[in-house]
Chain A
Amino acid sequence: MLYVLQQTLNALQLGSIYALIALGYTLVYSILRMINFAHGDIFMVGGFVCFAAATYLQLPFAVTLLLAMGCTAILGAGLERLAYRPLRDAPRVSAVITALGCGIFLEHFVLWLSPYPQHVPALLQNQTWSLGGLSVSSIQTAIVAIAVALMLVLDFIVQRTMLGLAMRGISMDMKAVALMGVPVDLVISSTFAFGAALGGAAGVLYSLAYPVVDPYMGVLMGWKAFIAAVLGGIGHIRGAVLGGFLLGAVEILVTAFLPSTYRDLTVFTLLLMLLIVRPHGILGRPTLQKV
C-alpha cells in the first residue's frame, strides 16, 4: 500500500510535467489546427534558461521560473510571427514541416552555445518529510503545486477572460472573430506565448527533478507530451491535463513492474491501441468536416 502511494506521488510529479507541455500542443492545435512540433524544444530552452539563470546569475528560484517562462513566451510568439504566420493560408502540412525545422534549429542553436550536457545547481533546498513511512520531498511537492497552479491560471484565462473567449472563438471560426473587431493575430501570438511559457515552466520543473540539461532533452519529452495531448483529445485543454497525468501514471506503473527499457515501448503501444478505440482521444469529440 505504501509502495503504491509512493509510486502515485512519483506519477503525479512526472504527469504534471507532461501535462504542462501537452497544454502547449493543445492550445496551438485548438486555434490553428496545427501541431507545433518545435514545442518540445521550447521545453528544452526553458531548461537551459533555468540552467543559465541559476549558474551565472544565481537568481532565486521564483525569478528563475518567471525568467524562463518569459523567455520561452517570447520565443514561442516569435516562432509564430516569423515561421508560422507567413504559412497561415498554406496547407497545414507546410506549417507542420516548418515546425519540425524550427525544432531542429533550436536544438542545434543550443548545441552551438553549449555542446555538453550541463548540470543545473540545486534551485530549491530539498527536504524530505516522512509521513508514516511515505517520503515526500519538497521538490516533488513544489513541482506538482506549481504545475497545478499554472494550469488553474490558464483555465481562468481561457474560460473567464475576453482574451480566452476570443481564443475559443478562433477555434470555431477565425474569420468570424476578426469580423467582431478582434485583432486575431494578437490573440494567436498570445496563445503561442501562453503555450510556450507553460513549456518553459515545465523545463524548469524538470530541471528541479532531474538536474541535467542537454540540447536533445526536448525531443523525447516533446513526443511523449504530444502523445499525452492526443490521448486526452488534442485541442481539448482538460484532455491535455488528463492525458499528461495518465501518461505519467502508466510510465511509473511500467517501470515498477517491468525493466525500465520497456517504458517507452509500452507508452507508444498504449497510444496506438487507444487511438484504434477512440481516434479523437479520451475527451475529444469527432469534429464534423464543414462542407
Chain B
Amino acid sequence: MNAAEPMLSIQGLTVSYDGIAAVKGISFDALPGEIVAIVGANGAGKTSTLRAISGLTPWGGSIVYQGESLRGVAVHQIVERGIAHVPEGRAIFGDFTVMENLRLASWVCRSRPVLWQAMERVFTLFPRLKDRREQSAGTLSGGEQQMLALSRALLASPKLLLLDEPSMGLAPLVVRDIFRVLVEINRAGTTILLIEQNAYQGLRIANRAHVLETGSIVLSGRGSELMQDQRVKDAYLGG
C-alpha cells in the first residue's frame, strides 16, 4: 500500500437511532501509523462513529478500510481484517478470569506461535495482568480492566485500533500510564483512532484531531494546534 494512501477513509458518515441523527455526515481519514483523535462532549456522536466502523450499528455514507468498503462486512470479519475495537466501558467479561478473557480474544489468532507471540507481547506491556491471570476479571481495578481490554484487542494483532474513551473512570496517574502504552503500541506500527472526552490526553498524543459537536465535525487540525486553539481551550480544556 502507498504510504500516503489512508488506511481508513470515512466520507459523509451518518448514523441514526430511531430516526434521530447521531452522526450527521462526517468525513475524516487516518493514515497508516497515525494517531487520530476525535474529541467532543457526551452525546456528540463519538461512540456511534466507532460503532459504525466496527459494524455494530447500521450507517450511511462510506467507510473504506485498506481500499475496500466495509459495507455489509460482519463484525467478526472486520476484526479478522485487522480492526480491533475497545468499546465504551471496556466490556470485559466480569465472570471470566483474566486468562479466559484473553483466550476468547485469541479466537482470531491463526496459529499457536502467533498466539504465544501476542500473549508474550501483552504480558510484557502489562506484567500485572500476568500475575492476575487466574483472577476473576470483575475483581480487577478500573486501570487493570482497561489493560485487559487493550490486551484483548492486541491479541487480534490489529492494524487499526479503535479506542472508546480509554481514560474513562480512571485516576490521572493510571490514565498517564495507559496513554504511555498507547504511544508505545502506535510506535510498534498500529494506527490508532481514539475518541476522548478527556480532550487534553487525546490531543496530546494525536497527530491529527477533530472536534465533534452534535454529530458534525466543527474543527480539525494537528493535535498540538488544537490544544492551542482558543475555542477548544474554552470548551474542552477548562479555559
Contacts and interface: CB of A to CB of B under 8 A. Distances in A.
Chains A and B bind each other = yes
Interface of A: 162, 165-166, 168-169, 172-173, 175-185
Given A176-B92, A179-B84, 18 more contacts: A162-B104, A165-B103, A168-B96, A169-B104, A172-B95, A175-B56, A175-B75, A176-B87, A176-B91, A179-B79, A179-B85, A180-B79, A180-B105, A180-B108, A181-B80, A182-B76, A182-B104, A184-B75
Given A180-B79, A180-B108, A183-B76, A175 B103 contact: no
Contacts of B74: 183, 185
26 contacts: A162-B104, A162-B107, A168-B95, A169-B96, A169-B104, A173-B93, A175-B56, A175-B75, A176-B87, A177-B104, A179-B54, A179-B56, A179-B75, A179-B85, A179-B91, A180-B79, A180-B104, A181-B79, A181-B105, A181-B108, A181-B156, A182-B76, A182-B104, A183-B76, A184-B75, A185-B74
Nearest to B51: A175
A172 B74 CA distance: 20
Contacts of B12: none
A177 B152 CA distance: 11
B107 A181 contact: yes
A219 to B, nearest CB: 35
B222 to A, nearest CB: 30
Interface string B162-186: 0000000000000000000000000
B162 to A, nearest CB: 9
The 3 closest A-B CB pairs, nearest first, are A181-B79, A181-B108, A176-B91
Nearest to A165: B104
Question: Which of A172, A173, A180, A182 has the most chain B CB atoms inside 10 A of its CB?
Answer: A180
A166 B107 CA distance: 9
B37 to A, nearest CB: 21
B22 to A, nearest CB: 17
B91 A173 contact: yes
Interface residues of B, number: 24
B18 to A, nearest CB: 12
B100 interface: yes
Contact of B107 (A168, A172, A182, A185): A182
Contacts of B92: 176
A193 B118 CA distance: 33
B221 interface: no
B94 interface: yes
Contacts of B152: 180
A175 B91 contact: yes
A248 B101 CA distance: 38
Contacts of B76: 178, 181-184
A54 to B, nearest CB: 41
Contact of A172 (B54, B84, B93, B105): B93
Contacts of B105: 180-181
Contacts of A175: 56, 75, 87, 91
Contacts of B75: 175, 178-179, 184
Contact of A166 (B79, B91, B104): B104
Nearest to A163: B107
Contacts of B108: 180-181
B181 to A, nearest CB: 19
Contacts of B80: 181
A176 B93 contact: yes
Contacts of B104: 162, 165-166, 169, 177, 180, 182
A180 B54 contact: no
B47 to A, nearest CB: 12
Given A175-B56, A175-B87, A180 B107 contact: yes
Question: Which of B84, B91, B95 has the most chain A CB atoms inside 10 A of its CB?
Answer: B91
B30 to A, nearest CB: 19
Interface string B119-162: 00000000000000000000000000000000010001000000
Question: Which of A172, A181, A185 has the most chain B CB atoms inside 10 A of its CB?
Answer: A181
A180 B155 CA distance: 9
Interface in B19-49: none
A184 B104 CA distance: 12
Interface in B194-220: none
Nearest to A177: B104
B187 to A, nearest CB: 24
Nearest to A166: B104
A177 to B, nearest CB: 7
